[in-house]
Amino acid sequence: MHHRLYYSPGACSMAAHIVLEEIGEPYELELVSSRGRFGGEGTTSPAWMACNPKGRVPALSGVPGRIGGSDNLLTELHAILFYLARTNPQARLLPADPAGEVRAIEWMNWLASNVHAMSFGQIWRPNRFVADERDFAVVQAKGQQNLREQYTYIEQLLDDGREWALAGGYSVVDPYLLVFYQWGARVGLDMKDHYPAWRRLTDKTSQRPAVQRVLAHEKIVLP
């Protein structure tokens, strides 16, 4: 089925963009900007909220069903990555065995919840946690602390001799980790020197032609 990806350059939607390129089937892109002080006009506009009441990207059209918002629109990056991988098994972007599959879910669930929604939310969207702007700095500082602990944990995971995030080879988890690598640099972490195993994974991921095409399209320069 033909898909349209609603995305914002450099956002977590970049992982879905990469997976679509890896699959190699025709798709469309529609920009919905997530930049801005508290979310950006793109994701908070009435038109986008009517389409996706969560007011976030990514979203993927062409997926049967409906849970809020537009018919046949799938939200949540984790779900989009899983759907694209499972409907395109020839791309081999998820392990075929149940144990390998749930290891991918284990990665994606933790990255989406603790790392993205909590830590980066505290750093970039403190208004989601407290109402008084005078409290924002405290929330952001706690987000930075949380993030450093989580990034140390990710580095330890990747530094055990594995070639990719999952033992079975390149998967949807690797472009997802690429997003967080460049986000780390955006919030001031020294990704090249302090996270060498993650840097090696990022270098390897970024050598893939599909990844290079997406980085060029979204104008992302990796640290």
**Residue 136: what pLDDT?**
97
Name the strand (E) or helix (H) holding 74: strand 73-75
Among the candidates 91, 121, 139, a domain finishes at 91
In angstroms, what CA-CA distances link 113 with 58, 109, 174, 193?
15, 6, 17, 26
Assess whether 124 and 175 both reside in one domain: yes
Domain extent at residue 47: 3-91
Neighbour order of strands in the sheet with 3-7: 27-31, 3-7, 59-61, 73-75
Assess whether 12 and 46 both reside in one domain: yes
What is the maximal distance between C-alpha atoms in the chain?
52
**Residue 168: what pLDDT?**
87
Torsional class of 86: left (φ above 0), alpha (ψ -120 to 50), beta (otherwise): alpha
Domain count, the chain: 2
Among the candidates 69, 91, 113, a domain finishes at 91
> How far is Cα of residue 9 from the mean position of the Cα atoms in its chain?
11
Mean pLDDT by 10 residues, the chain (223 residues): 92 98 96 65 84 94 94 97 98 96 98 98 96 97 98 98 95 98 97 97 98 97 92
- According to DSSP, the residues that pair with 60 across neighbouring strands are 5, 74
Assess whether 79 and 111 both reside in one domain: no
Does residue 166 belong to any structural domain of this protein?
Answer: yes
Does residue 29 belong to any structural domain of this protein?
Answer: yes
Assess whether 44 and 103 both reside in one domain: no
Assess whether 85 and 102 both reside in one domain: no
CB 68 within 8 A of CB 54: yes
**Residue 59: what pLDDT?**
97
